[in-house]
Chains A and B, each alone.
Chain A
Amino acid sequence: MKKKRYAIVLDTRRCIDCKACTVACKAENDVPLGDDKFRNWVSEEPLRGRYPNLGQSFAPSQCNQCENPPCNSVCPTSATGITAGGIVTVNPDKCIGCKYCMLACPYDARYFNEETGVIDKCTFCIQRIAVGRIPACVETCPTKVRTFGDLNDPNSEVSLLLAKNRYRVLKPELGTKPFLFYLI
């Protein structure tokens, strides 16, 4: 069987900033309470125009599961690694909580979990993938902004979406090779 490469495709035009994804992620992954503790987030983009001609977009985001993750190379204990499916993970046994990776991540996707004493981040809900379920944020999203799947499968929903639509990734200039794709 071919190796899998997981990705999430986001159609932000459908995002209503309801933050279901954020709460779902916190509950699913036991992310501690605290408004600086989260694996995913939705930013309100700045208001465009002036009253009464206004526009606004909402931008959901999380770890990009980069192919070249800068967080990986700075980790002094090799706690950060890339697992099957291309998912960037933190091994809690090796992590010493030095936070170098938090600074290195250009997407600010990591936080320090005081309850476990280690760095934590989005894992595409690896525990759900393992039992054949899709990530919590993807499943719960009311307007189906998010689509999850295997980019190595040309017939997966994510592959089809990227074949059919124009898209962009965040900060491509950094050469991180992100696997969150935003449709335009």
Chain B
Amino acid sequence: MPTTLTVNGTAHEIDLPAEVPLLWVLRDALHLTGTKFGCGVAACGACTVQIDGEAVRSCQVALGDVWGDVTTIEGLGTPAALSKLQQAWIDHQVAQCGYCQSGQIMQAAALLAETPQPDDAAIDAAMAGNLCRCGTYPRIRAAIRAAAGMEG
């Protein structure tokens, strides 16, 4: 039986078993490939999306358990209409390989929605689960601060 899933404001009927993780519904059924697969076990954060504004690891949420509207990186902003956070990411030239960055941005967006002016400890706590093998951490920190209007 198809499951109804709302992603970035659009409702979809998904014809996949209910235990398929949201990550693989987004990527392989809806072709929303901005959300990345890194580990499959909640250890890297590359698959981070938001459900009702909360940052979650989409590799750990089964299709049948999705409890609200899903927002992915594609829903946060587009090249033609960037969100403030994405603009800060570009201003600070954060990405290297870029593979972790969708997850980083979705995590940071959830942090700023909850804590508009996060201190260093709050940034550390929120971002610790998002691995970046390229080591873009200093620029991630700077971009979050800038988007929060806390630069300098």
- The reply to whether chain A is a binding partner of chain B is no
